[in-house]
A and B are shown apart, each in its own frame.
Chain A
């Protein structure tokens, strides 16, 4: 995948005309079966976020949790979203689903706008955009049978209960559970199995894009690997786009095609996973990678990144990472950083990207 990624896609098509993009995009997405890794760069994004900003908080204290983020996901592609807690990963996932009102920017799914959740019914075309939540102990109603939980999706789409149960059995097998599980209750399953049920539930609508917010962090080590592999398979088989939010960097490293590293509401580095991981360029990405403990028996302690993520209500001026950055110079305190293309990925660090290439202004909300 040599295509630039989120920002690249956003820049080739001007994000100001979402309606127009939709017309061209729909044809492109529905025709492509079995997305090969190599082709993804060329395909139209199934999900597109452009200049997205989200504010939280009341009158007095407004917090900009997400600040001008561009991201696009193609079919058959897994985009990993990593960063420390409080960096806005989950907010980004929720904004992409239309679960948060946007302060600025647009989110489009298959070319059509994703409106924020309101009292009205969600538009029919959003059935193809589904979410897997972190905690399968809370996302499944404990008082309803697994089959009913999954059949809901069919019934809401106008199908019968019978049809729903039949489809539920099919999907349970698809995610590696016995079809007989339709008659069981969620508590009869382990965390990993419950997460499979939650995933089967999202597949009912034959989605073209899944958003998974920390889908494996509540699970055991071996269940984590199982679910990560399952998600990877589904993406390939059903040609889905997947946004995988995780604080577990090694899992993202393993399954994501592209990775976006977030810090305090912004993307600071984005690119092909192997490129970003193999030779991180943004000092924050470097720190993240160095902090992963290795199970190699060498007894080496992971490298510490001192300090905490600053208060997003009062973000540092200039580069938001500068108070913790080992490379920080005076100029970092003043210059707002823009994503710049460097060595096959994009980074928001003017020190590391000083070697040239045209700077693009990061739109800030």
Chain B
């Protein structure tokens, strides 16, 4: 069975003052139907640009090469009209900030039904009752009342639930969630994560979670892609990557996280900061911050190589091979 989404050698170059710079560089990954994967990395690693390229929503002037196949059909190069038939219908997005994702002066009901009527061609009353059902699914109390309310009348957590309901309105098969819980409190985050997990299982929906929070990944994604400076650093089963990271960057991300169980040992940050667009170092982009860097790392560009079943690593020296 082919993958639902197949991204192959995706490269996105954005226009900057110093010419075109690659924000995503030769990235490949796939998502099977019903599968939940995660894309992790610091800001500027190209996570969000990757997500936007799936929707044809890249900034004006961006140059895209490679291929993005949804169910075998190429998404790159589609016209606006063709894309509109796919966006929301087959792939939908939940963004980080629920207060900007919803239109502030349209009632919730309008925002939920617009989608359904456009994509599914259902009647007004049918859409209305489906919308109420969706709000119930995402656990908004008193859905009928909520349909008549405005986004400003809800708290941040509720708004994110509503934004998720809007994304689900046309029953997409792939949901892209870009930092869906970053703006939320930890208790609310737990609720949203459980909700997304349940929806994926119940509806057989595939999802891409994009976040810098490996804790969130651990809870939701079965497979994880770690990106750095627009490239794939490591990809594999989440449990394996978090328990035995092989790329020094994955290791660093994990070490920088406070562990709720650990004592109050100081956090181990990764020295330096991620390179900005156009200042990506030659060779392995991570080498200036890598404590295992060798001479070859500054010159040889690492390519993701399989090191185990479904586990890719772009670090030829593989210094963490023997550690656990």
Contact = CB atoms under 8 A, between A and B. Distances in A.
A273 B266 CA distance: 15
Interface residues of B, number: 53
Nearest to B261: A294
Interface in A233-277: 247-251, 253-255, 273-274, 277
A197 to B, nearest CB: 14
B231 to A, nearest CB: 17
B194 interface: yes
Given A250-B260, A251-B258, A297 B185 contact: no
A221 B191 contact: no
Nearest to B185: A84
28 contacts: A220-B42, A220-B212, A221-B42, A221-B253, A224-B269, A225-B257, A249-B260, A253-B260, A254-B267, A255-B264, A277-B260, A288-B187, A291-B186, A293-B189, A294-B215, A294-B261, A295-B242, A295-B257, A296-B218, A296-B243, A297-B218, A299-B219, A299-B222, A299-B238, A301-B190, A302-B189, A304-B191, A305-B191
A17 interface: no
Interface stretch (B4-12, B69-77, B150-158, B311-319): B150-158
B241 to A, nearest CB: 7
Nearest to B262: A254
Contacts of A358: none
Contact of B158 (A193, A226, A308): A308
Interface in B234-292: 238-243, 252-254, 256-270, 273-274, 276
Contacts of A193: 273
B225 interface: no
A242 to B, nearest CB: 14
A306 interface: yes
Nearest to A191: B43
Interface string B214-228: 111111101000000
A300 interface: yes
Interface of A: 84-86, 190-193, 220-226, 228-229, 232, 247-251, 253-255, 273-274, 277, 287-306, 308-309
B32 interface: no
A174 B43 CA distance: 26
Contacts of A220: 42-43, 212, 273-274
Given A224-B267, A251-B267, A304-B191, 15 more contacts: A223-B273, A225-B268, A232-B266, A249-B186, A253-B258, A254-B262, A277-B260, A287-B187, A297-B218, A298-B218, A299-B219, A299-B238, A299-B239, A301-B194, A302-B219
Nearest to A292: B260
Contacts of B270: 222, 225
Contacts of A300: 218-219
B219 A293 contact: yes
B193 A301 contact: yes
Kindly name the residue among B155, B190, B261 whose own CB sees the greatest number of chain A CB atoms within 10 A: B190
B144 interface: no
A85 to B, nearest CB: 6
A85 B156 contact: yes
9 tightest A-B CB contacts, nearest first: A297-B242, A293-B215, A225-B269, A225-B267, A250-B258, A297-B239, A295-B214, A302-B190, A291-B190
Contacts of B257: 221, 225, 250, 295
Contacts of B215: 292-295
B262 to A, nearest CB: 8
A296 B242 contact: yes
B146 interface: no
Interface in B143-196: 155-158, 185-191, 193-194
Contacts of B42: 220-222
Nearest to A256: B264
Nearest to A193: B273
A224 B156 CA distance: 23
A192 B273 contact: yes
B186 A274 contact: no
Contacts of B264: 253-255, 273-274
Contacts, number: 155
A76 to B, nearest CB: 15
Interface of B: 42-43, 155-158, 185-191, 193-194, 197, 212-220, 222, 238-243, 252-254, 256-270, 273-274, 276
Kindly name the residue among A277, A290, A292, A295 whose own CB sees the greatest number of chain B CB atoms within 10 A: A295
A220 B21 CA distance: 22
Contacts of B269: 222-226, 229
Contact of A293 (B193, B212, B240): B193
A184 to B, nearest CB: 14
Nearest to A297: B242
B186 A292 contact: yes
Contacts of A254: 258, 262, 264-267
Nearest to A291: B190
Kindly name the residue among A85, A222, A277, A299 whose own CB sees the greatest number of chain B CB atoms within 10 A: A222
A210 to B, nearest CB: 18
Contacts of B267: 224-225, 228-229, 251, 254
Contact of A306 (B158, B191, B266): B191
A186 B240 CA distance: 40
Nearest to B268: A225
Given A296-B242, A297-B242, A304-B190, A222 B218 contact: no
A298 B276 CA distance: 33
Contacts of B268: 225
A309 B218 CA distance: 27
Contacts of B254: 295
Contact of A289 (B193, B217, B260, B276): B260
Contacts of A291: 186-187, 189-190
B253 A222 contact: yes
A254 B269 CA distance: 13
A62 to B, nearest CB: 20
